[in-house]
Chain A
Amino acid sequence: MLSTIRPKLEFLSKELINKIIEEAYIILERQGIFVENSEALGLFKEAGMKIDTSSQRVFITPELIQDCLNSTPSLIKMYDRNGEKEFVVGGDEAHFDPGSAAVTILDHDTGDQRKADTKDLIRFARLTDLMDNIDFQSTGIISSDIPDIISDSYRLYLGLKYCNKPIVTGTFRVEGFKPMFDMLVAIRGSEQELLDKPLAIFDACPSPALKWSNLTTQSLIDSARAGIPSELISMGMTGATSPVTIAGTLVQHVAENLGGLIICQLAHKGAPVIFGGSPSSFDMRKGTTPMGAIETMMIDSGYTQIAKHLNLPSHAYMGLSDAKVNDNQAGLESGIGSVLAALSGVNVISGPGMMDFESCQSLEKLVIDNEICGMALRLIKGIAQRDDPIATDLFQGFTADTQFLSMPHTRKWYREEHIFPGIIDRDTYDYWVSLGKKTSAERAKDKVEELLQKDKPSTLNDDVQIELQNIMLADAKKNGIDKLPKQIK
């Protein structure tokens, strides 16, 4: 049997990759990066780097960069909440997770965005659990019915409680790490077991250009020491907070991410790091950051290729849209993005459900995007040779009446070779009319309700639930909050 080609998209020549990396090295050495965190500055000092204390600027030598790249693992194994299913983050593996962190949710019935609350977060987590093409969950929505101060730990609490998938999350405050870490340990049983079977990825965003803030730097340090993978989310906006050319933005992207990677390695040698991002093509007319722009996707694909060249796991915000409702734009931007991400071999693809410049989540879109993800995942499986001979034996005794429907060969392979949608319309016109002439968004709405009504929430055992709740309550109390909202499923 001949081997199957994994279809792949590459934008950059080897020479251009090397040039981009070389310029990133030059920037790190000559301009340096801003690190607004004294602990990290201490680590850089220990490593012998030159530091300008007044501006909190660190100048990083090529030797240290190389050293840190050498100690960063090229792949990470994530595990679901039960610790049973393993997901490899590395190579050309592709895992989708819902885009985060939205501040609003799209209300299908009114067509308006509204603030989300506990109930929405639970529905979102439960629905993500049921999406067969979305491997990871994310703390994708901020809940408005609890004070902002604990919104980071609270969204993780609900995600862990209502969804079995590995989780992509992050802190909003330095103090947020501890309770969030404790929750993960509570699920696994011990710190060692969490180390052996990572359950969560923590996102950390540098501020363009070339700055790691106190909060994000602390998240890198704490995560590295706890063995939690840090996902570096550099996010230059072309021509506004990064160079206007795509290649120029890639230079800055690589420099910022390498800065984060080095902080992780200095905090703990061998710490898992994912080379990710959420850069965008800045719209010079509207002053907005379109995630559905083709240039945004080109930047994503470009740095993913560089991540692979550096032998690092990768991540990107792709497969999301800037549309405000589930219209044509929502589908086309999410479709193009998901397909390009899968073809580029992005390991963690954050996007499904998300719209309006990463500010809004939609349950209906999540269900539609799940099908898009399915198509993208099918695409990268490529065209395989299943049999030898491929087909000549099927034509033995071929007559004018021969058909393939009832052949054992068809039955054997059709589910392997083809995927079947649930939302995408493949009905005849008359049948579609008989079902009420529904648009994909309307069918998605029906699907959301059907799934959430039918399926029981995937729950944890009681002891762990109580432990999680105690950690959450303690964090709330510490911040002067006595009560948590009621959890209505």
Chain B
Amino acid sequence: MNKTGLFEKMKMAVIEGDKHEAESLAQNAVESKMEMIEVIEKGFTPGIQKAGDLWESGEYFLPELISSAECMTSAMKILQPELIKAGVSAKTLGKVIIGTIEGDIHDIGKNLVASMLAANGFEITDLGADVKLEKFISKAQEINADYICLSSLLTTTMIGQKKIITMLKDKKLFGHIKVMVGGAPVNSQWAHDIGADGYAENAITAVTAAKKLL
């Protein structure tokens, strides 16, 4: 099959959320020593972009969108090591630490945001749910993160978002590491009050908000 045909198949695999197909196409691309950058930019990325468009136009709902995002992420997992091997620095929009604050074990919303950011070119370190505040900071320092994304479903853990900002200020990291907040009880007023850099009400706007902070 010619390259254009292959790219089209990659794109379709992501649009249709066919993880198995996406992984096998990525694997084949690696084995046949295709140009990795081209595979990503002309093959898989147009797929996630199209899925985003379909979401915007109201055709795709969350199950389709998230399947596409996960497809993209699993293809990238196969392609990225090759990029690094080839000495090409992977084009990442930024390093993101994400997690749900301690005391909170709800993480569905956080997972959606992580999937969408990953699918859109951010490098995600997901700390999971019920994460200690210090852990966010230490991990961010360790990997030299650009963003910390904090999720809270419970009103009782929202206060942790504020505390993290204080902790970053104490360590003179605030400003260098952007803080984005979200979660059901969180709104733009709260984000503004605590001095967060970004706020998103859902996984789609999280991507836009993160890009705005680039």
Given contacts A284-B62, A284-B63, A285-B61, contact A103 B106 (CB under 8 A): no
* Chain A 264-294 interface mask (CB, 8 Å, partner B; 1/0): 0000000000000000000011110100000
A240 within 8 A of partner (CB)? yes
A103–B112 Cα distance when bound, in Å, is 24
Within B54-89, the residues touching A (CB, 8 Å) are 58, 61-63
A196 within 8 A of partner (CB)? no
A406–B61 Cα distance when bound, in Å, is 62
B203 and A287: CB pair below 8 A? yes
Residues of B within 8 A of A284 (CB): 61-63
B109 and A103: CB pair below 8 A? no
- From the candidates A148, A286, A287, A359, name the one contacting B156 in the complex (CB within 8 A): A148
A3 to chain B, nearest CB (A): 47
* Chain A 249-272 interface mask (CB, 8 Å, partner B; 1/0): 000000000000000000000000
A240 and B156: CB pair below 8 A? no
A127–B187 Cα distance when bound, in Å, is 28
A211 and B105: CB pair below 8 A? yes
Within A194-250, the residues touching B (CB, 8 Å) are 207, 211, 213, 215, 237, 239-241
A287–B156 Cα distance when bound, in Å, is 21
Given contacts A148-B159, A239-B63, contact A286 B202 (CB under 8 A): yes
A207 and B184: CB pair below 8 A? no
Q: Which residue of B lies closest to A216 (CB)?
A: B105
- From the candidates B58, B105, B108, B202, name the one contacting A237 in the complex (CB within 8 A): B108
B36 to chain A, nearest CB (A): 33
A181 within 8 A of partner (CB)? no
A148–B156 Cα distance when bound, in Å, is 6
B155 and A357: CB pair below 8 A? no
A87 within 8 A of partner (CB)? no
Q: Which one of A103, A142, A211 has the highest number of Cβ atoms from chain B below 10 Å of its Cβ?
A: A103
B63 and A241: CB pair below 8 A? no
A239–B105 Cα distance when bound, in Å, is 18
B155 and A213: CB pair below 8 A? no
A286–B184 Cα distance when bound, in Å, is 12
B185 within 8 A of partner (CB)? yes
A443–B185 Cα distance when bound, in Å, is 29
Residues of B within 8 A of A101 (CB): 155
- From the candidates B62, B103, B155, name the one contacting A287 in the complex (CB within 8 A): B62
Q: How many residues of B contact A (CB 8 A)?
A: 17
B121 to chain A, nearest CB (A): 21
Residues of B within 8 A of A148 (CB): 155-156, 159
B105 and A213: CB pair below 8 A? yes
A241 and B108: CB pair below 8 A? yes
A151 and B156: CB pair below 8 A? yes
A173–B112 Cα distance when bound, in Å, is 28
Q: Which one of A151, A286, A287 has the highest number of Cβ atoms from chain B below 10 Å of its Cβ?
A: A287
Residues of A within 8 A of B159 (CB): 148
B211 to chain A, nearest CB (A): 19
Residues of B within 8 A of A142 (CB): 155
A287 and B105: CB pair below 8 A? no
Residues of B within 8 A of A359 (CB): 184-185
Residues of B within 8 A of A215 (CB): 103
B184 and A357: CB pair below 8 A? yes
A239–B155 Cα distance when bound, in Å, is 24
A142–B159 Cα distance when bound, in Å, is 13
Residues of B within 8 A of A286 (CB): 202
A196 to chain B, nearest CB (A): 33
- From the candidates A151, A172, A240, name the one contacting B108 in the complex (CB within 8 A): A240
B136 to chain A, nearest CB (A): 19
Residues of A within 8 A of B112 (CB): 287
A103 and B62: CB pair below 8 A? no
Q: Which residue of B lies closest to A289 (CB)?
A: B184
Residues of A within 8 A of B58 (CB): 285
* Chain B 165-206 interface mask (CB, 8 Å, partner A; 1/0): 000000000000000000011000000000000000011000
A34 to chain B, nearest CB (A): 9
A103 and B155: CB pair below 8 A? yes
Residues of B within 8 A of A211 (CB): 105
Can you pick out 28 interface pairs between chain A and chain B where the beta carbons lie within 8 Å of each other? A101-B155, A103-B185, A142-B155, A148-B155, A148-B159, A151-B156, A172-B156, A207-B105, A207-B106, A211-B105, A213-B105, A215-B103, A239-B63, A240-B108, A241-B108, A284-B61, A285-B61, A285-B62, A286-B202, A287-B62, A287-B109, A287-B112, A287-B202, A287-B203, A289-B184, A357-B184, A359-B184, A359-B185
Given contacts A148-B156, A284-B63, A287-B109, 5 further A-B contacts (CB under 8 A): A142-B155, A207-B106, A239-B63, A285-B58, A286-B202
Query: A-side interface residues toward B, CB under 8 Å?
Result: 101, 103, 142, 148, 151, 172-173, 207, 211, 213, 215, 237, 239-241, 284-287, 289, 357, 359
